[in-house]
Structure 1
Amino acid sequence: MDIVTQSEQETINLGMAIGSALHSGDVLALHGDLGAGKTHFVQGIARGMGIDANVVSPTFTILNFYEHDIPLQHFDFYRLEEEYELDDLGFDDYITSGVTVIEWSEKFSDRLPDDALHITIKKTSLTGRVFQFQFIGDRWLQVEKEVQKYAISH
C-alpha cells in the first residue's frame, strides 16, 4: 500500500493516524534516505500515541526513550557498525514491549521480528513523500485500517 504526503504536516498526520493504533510489542522498521522525513513521521507516531515530548532524531544517541502508558523506543541504526552493538544496547529486550521504531533498520534486518511493519519513505519533491507499507500478519490489521482511513480523507 502506498500513501503520498505533500508536506511535513501531512507526514506528521500520517504518523499520528498510525500511532493511535499501535500496541505494546509493535516494531516498525523505517527505510529511507537521509532527509526522507523519518523523524517527522516518528514525531507523528508519538503524538498519535499521546506522547507530547519533543521527539528528535536519535542519530547520535542511537536510542531515544519516551516514557508513556506504552513507551516509545526510537532507535537509529545509522551510526552502528557491528551487530554486537545491539546486544550492548539490550535491543532484544526493548522490542518485546513498548512500541519500537527503527530508522536505518536495514543495517541489521536479521535482528528484526518476522512480523515487523516495514515502511519505506521515498522523497518525491522538496516536501512530497511516498510511504510504502509492507503489512505482514494479522497484528497490523488495525494499523492498515488507519492508513486506509488516512488515504481516503486526504
Structure 2
Amino acid sequence: MDFYDPAEFWEPIKRPNRDAFILEANRFYILVSKERIRVPPEFAAEMVVYDAGAGEIRTHYAGFFDPGFGFGDGSVLGTKVVMEVRAREVPFLVYDGQTSFKVGFERLRSRPEHVYGVGLASSYQHQTLTLSKHFRR
C-alpha cells in the first residue's frame, strides 16, 4: 500500500508556551486528548457535541470507536483520542483542560466475534498524537 507524505497535507505546529491556542477559521488541526478512553467489547462509542452553544468548533469528523478500543483483552488502560478539529468561520480559542466533546456509548446486541486490538492489526490501540494509517510514519 502506498502512503501519503504528511508534509503535503499537514504543517506541524509547536505546542505554545502558554495554556491556550487560537485555531484559525476553516483550517483543520489534529489534536490529542489528555484523557484516555476504554470501550468495553459489548459497546461501540462515538464522539458527540458536548454543547452546541459553546462556539463554532467541530471535533467529531471521524469519531467512531469500535468495540474494545482502548480496552483490548482488558489489559489496555485506555487510548488517547486523536481529533480532527476545525473552527468554522471565526477563530476559536482552545485552552488546556477545555472540554471539547462527549463520548456516547451504545450497547451492542451481542459481543462481536473480533474485538479491536485483540489478535488484530489494530492501528490505533496505543496511539498518541498520530495521523491516520494512510500517512507515512
Instruction: Looking at secondary structure, tell me which structure has more strand per residue.
Output: 2
Larger Rg: 2
TM-score over 0.5 for the alignment?
no
